[in-house]
Amino acid sequence: MTRWWNYVRFFRALLDPRKDVCPAQIEGLGLLAVKIAQMYAVRADLIGFQKSRQLRGFFEDARPVPPGEIEGRFLKAAPASLLSALRSWDRTPAAAASIGQVHRGTLRDGTEVAIKIVKADAREEFQSQVRSLRRFLRIVIAFYPKLGRLADPLGVLASVERSTLRELDLRSEVEGLDVLRRLRDEGAEQLPHLSQLEFPKVYREFSGPDLLVSEWRSEPSLNDLIARRDFSYEQVLALFRIHGYFLFVRGTFHGDLHPGNVLYQDGRFVFLDNANVESAPPELTRGILGMLSALGDDDITTAAECIASTSTKPLPQTSRDRLL
Q: What is the CATH number of domain 67-119+169-279?
A: 1.10.510.10
List, for residues 117-148, the tens digit of each pLDDT value.
998 877 888 888 899 889 988 888 888 887 77
Write out pLDDT tens, residues 253-262: 999 998 889 9
> Alpha-carbon distance 105 to 113, whole Å?
5
pLDDT digits (tens, 9 = 90+) for 281-310: 988 999 999 999 999 999 988 998 888 888
- Ranges of each domain in the chain: 2-62+122-167, 67-119+169-279, 282-323
Digit-coded pLDDT (tens) for 46-95 = 888 888 888 887 776 678 889 999 999 999 999 999 999 999 999 999 98
CA–CA gap between residue 265 and residue 259 (Å, rounded): 14
Cα dihedral 268/273/275/281 (nearest 10) = -50
d(CA 98, CA 115): 16
Expressed in percent and rounded to 5, the helix, strand and coil fractions of the chain are 60, 15, 25
Q: Give the distance between the most distant pair of CA atoms in the chain.
A: 69
pLDDT, mean of residues 201-208: 97
Distances from the Cα of 116 to the Cαs of 62, 123, 162, 174, in angstroms?
14, 17, 21, 12
pLDDT band for position 271 (cuts 50, 70, 90): very high
Q: Is the pTM of this model over 0.75?
A: yes
Phi/psi at 239 (5° precision): -65, -40
Alpha carbon distance 189, 311 (integer Å): 34
What confidence score (pLDDT) does residue 1 get? 59
